[in-house]
Amino acid sequence: MIRITGGIHRGRKIKSPQGAITRPTPEMVREALFNILCHKVVGSRFLDAFAGTGAVGLEALSRGADFAAFIEKDRTACKVLNENIASLNLMDKSLVLCSDVMESMKKLEKKVESFDIIFLDPPYYENHIALCLDFLQHSSILDPDSIIVIQHAWDISFEHIGFEKIKQKKYGRTIMSFLVKEEKL
C-alpha cells in the first residue's frame, strides 16, 4: 500500500497493482517534490503522465490542486488508479486517460486543456522524455508559466531544447528535474 503524505487526504492509503507493472514514486520523493512546488499546487491544474497508481496526481489533489489528469496505458494500472480516485472521492476533479502518453496529450490539446504542472515519470531507459519534451515545446497544454517535473534515473541525461532547467534534486538513484519553457527573445 502507498500512503498520501500531505493535504486533506494525508495518511490515506491507496492501492498499487500486483507485480512490477508500476514503479510508484516513493513517499520521501513525493514529499520532497511537493515541498519544492508548495504554493504552486494550490488551485493548479496538474497532469500526471505515466501515472501508474496515480500517487503523485492524487497527492496534488490532496494538497489543493483544482484538477488532475492522469495518463496511464496499462489497463490493470488504470483500473487500480480509478479505484484510488473513487476511494478518495475525487472523481469530479479527475480525468483518467488509459492510453499512450503521446496520444493522450494530443487528445488533451484538442480539448483545449492546459496544465500548470506536468509531472513525467516514464519508464527508465526508454526514449519517452525526449518525445514528450518535443511535443510539449509547441503544445498548448503547456502554459507559459507551467512547470515540468521529470522523474528519472540518476544515470539518465536528456536534451531539453526549448526548456530551462531551474532545479534538479537527487534522491538516492532517482532525480527530479524541474523545467520551464525558455522565453523567446
What is the spatial distance between Cα 80 and Cα 53, in angstroms, rounded to a whole number? Answer: 6
Per run of 10 residues, the mean pLDDT along the chain (length 185 residues) is 91 81 76 93 97 94 97 94 96 96 94 94 83 92 92 86 92 92 69
Neighbours of 184 (CB within 10 A): 5
Per-residue pLDDT at 156: 84
Domain boundaries, the chain: 2-181
pLDDT on residue 126:
75
Three cell numbers written together for 60: 496534488
Supply 127's cell numbers.
526514449
Strand locations in 41-173 (E): 45-49, 67-71, 94-97, 115-120, 142-153, 163-171
**Residue 65 φ/ψ, nearest 5 degrees:** -65, 145
Residue 11: per-residue pLDDT: 92
The whole-number pLDDT of residue 17 equals 78
Pick among 1.20.58.220, 3.40.50.1000, 3.40.50.150, 3.40.190.90: CATH of 2-181: 3.40.50.150
Q: What is the pLDDT of residue 21?
A: 56
